[in-house]
């Protein structure tokens, strides 16, 4: 009997190839059934990061604070510019903290499969749980970051308003976007390990092009077409939305809401399908 006949015979009797990719609906159902695995793994990673350092969870908020202080010193004191708003410190802090959430989700998502290769090779489970757990870890760490960010904004005179509650839907949209990016990068790094070398470069380019320590609206105020093009950057838009509701004096353009919402759902959908299509290749490449 030929191998083709054997394959047909196996399918006829309900036998499946080991590690074969299941249909999409079955795959999603299996993800839901095993959701506890992703939550548990995310919790253990947070606990491990706390135990590895003396300051524990303090580094989660200390790192963006130090980054904000460094950029504040360079671009607020040493190199002052007309492109920064009057409330520069709340503007800078909100940008650094929100960008930190994206960059950590991007980086950890890209390493989700290749960093757990022994787990992928030894156990049978939907591989998508790994990048999901990596983003869930960043969601857990985001909570204290937002609390500290809010405290800093209040300390520097930003009023506490009902608009601050908009941080919840904004972060929900950004989480969908981050998960989509994590899924795409997780598959890419499996096929091409060299992608990991480009991630710091991509992150750096996004950092400098997302208006973290300068206002795109002030820099491009005389070129509205270029400004609209710059506002198509979803990372900038999530930061702009947070600033628009939490930092006094910032106005949110309807275009930013449309781009932020569309990017979240489109990137998430593409990421899920793109990752699922290579399910049976994880642990073999």
Residue range 154-205, pLDDT digits in tens: 988 889 988 899 999 999 999 999 999 999 999 999 888 777 888 889 998 9
What is the per-residue pLDDT for 3? Answer: 47
Mean pLDDT score, 3-17? 47
User: Closest Cα to residue 132, out of 98, 173, 191, 182?
Assistant: 182
Domain span including residue 225: 22-281
Q: Torsion over CA of 129, 204, 190 and 52, rounded to 10 degrees?
A: -60
What is the per-residue pLDDT for 103? Answer: 93
In a domain, 3, yes or no: no
Can you say how many angstroms the Cα of residue 105 is from the centroid of all Cα atoms in its chain?
Answer: 4
What is the per-residue pLDDT for 10? Answer: 40
Confidence band of 237 (pLDDT split at 50, 70, 90): very high
Distances (CA, A) of 113 to 23, 78, 281: 21, 42, 11
What is the per-residue pLDDT for 9? Answer: 44
What is the per-residue pLDDT for 75? Answer: 62
Mean pLDDT score, 89-107? 91
What is the per-residue pLDDT for 227? Answer: 82
Q: Lowest mean pLDDT: which of 91-95, 239-243, 248-252?
A: 248-252
What is the per-residue pLDDT for 13? Answer: 41
Report whether 49 contacts 132 (CB < 8 A): no
What is the per-residue pLDDT for 251? Answer: 67
Angle in degrees, CA 48, 109, 115, rounded to 5: 60
Mean pLDDT score, 17-44? 83
What is the per-residue pLDDT for 77? Answer: 59
What is the chain's mean pLDDT, rounded? 82
- Asked if residue 81 has pLDDT above 90, the reply is no
What's the pTM?
Answer: 0.86
In a domain, 7, yes or no: no
Burial of 166 (0-12, 13-18, 19+ CB in 10 A): middle
Number of domain units in the chain: 1
Report whether 238 contacts 98 (CB < 8 A): yes
3-state secondary structure of 20: coil
């Amino acid at each position: 009997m030929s191998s083709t006949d054997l394959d047909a015979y196996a399918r006829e009797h309900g036998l499946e190839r080991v590690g074969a990719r299941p249909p999409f609906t079955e795959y999603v159902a299996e993800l839901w059934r095993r959701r506890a695995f992703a939550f548990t793994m995310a919790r253990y990673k947070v606990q491990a990061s706390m135990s590895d350092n003396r300051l524990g969870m303090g580094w989660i908020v200390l790192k963006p604070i130090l980054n904000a202080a460094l950029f504040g010193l360079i671009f607020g004191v040493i190199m002052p510019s007309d492109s920064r708003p009057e409330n520069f410190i709340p503007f800078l802090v909100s940008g650094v903290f929100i960008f930190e959430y994206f960059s950590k989700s991007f980086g950890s998502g890209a390493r989700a499969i290749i960093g757990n290769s022994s787990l992928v090779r030894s156990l049978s489970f939907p591989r998508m749980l790994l990048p999901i757990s990596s983003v869930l870890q960043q969601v857990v760490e985001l909570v204290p970051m937002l609390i500290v960010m809010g405290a800093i904004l209040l300390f520097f005179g930003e009023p506490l308003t009902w608009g601050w509650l908009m941080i919840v839907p904004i972060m929900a949209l950004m989480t969908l976007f981050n998960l989509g990016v994590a899924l795409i990068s997780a598959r890419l790094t499996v096929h091409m390990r060299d992608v990991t070398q480009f991630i710091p470069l991509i992150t750096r380019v996004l950092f400098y092009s997302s208006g973290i320590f300068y206002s795109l609206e002030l820099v491009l105020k005389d070129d509205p077409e270029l400004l609209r093009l710059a506002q198509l950057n979803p990372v900038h838009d999530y930061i702009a939305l947070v600033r628009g509701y939490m930092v006094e004096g910032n106005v949110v353009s309807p275009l930013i809401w449309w781009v932020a919402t569309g990017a979240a759902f489109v990137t998430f959908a593409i990421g899920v399908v793109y990752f699922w299509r290579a399910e049976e290749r994880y642990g073999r490449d």
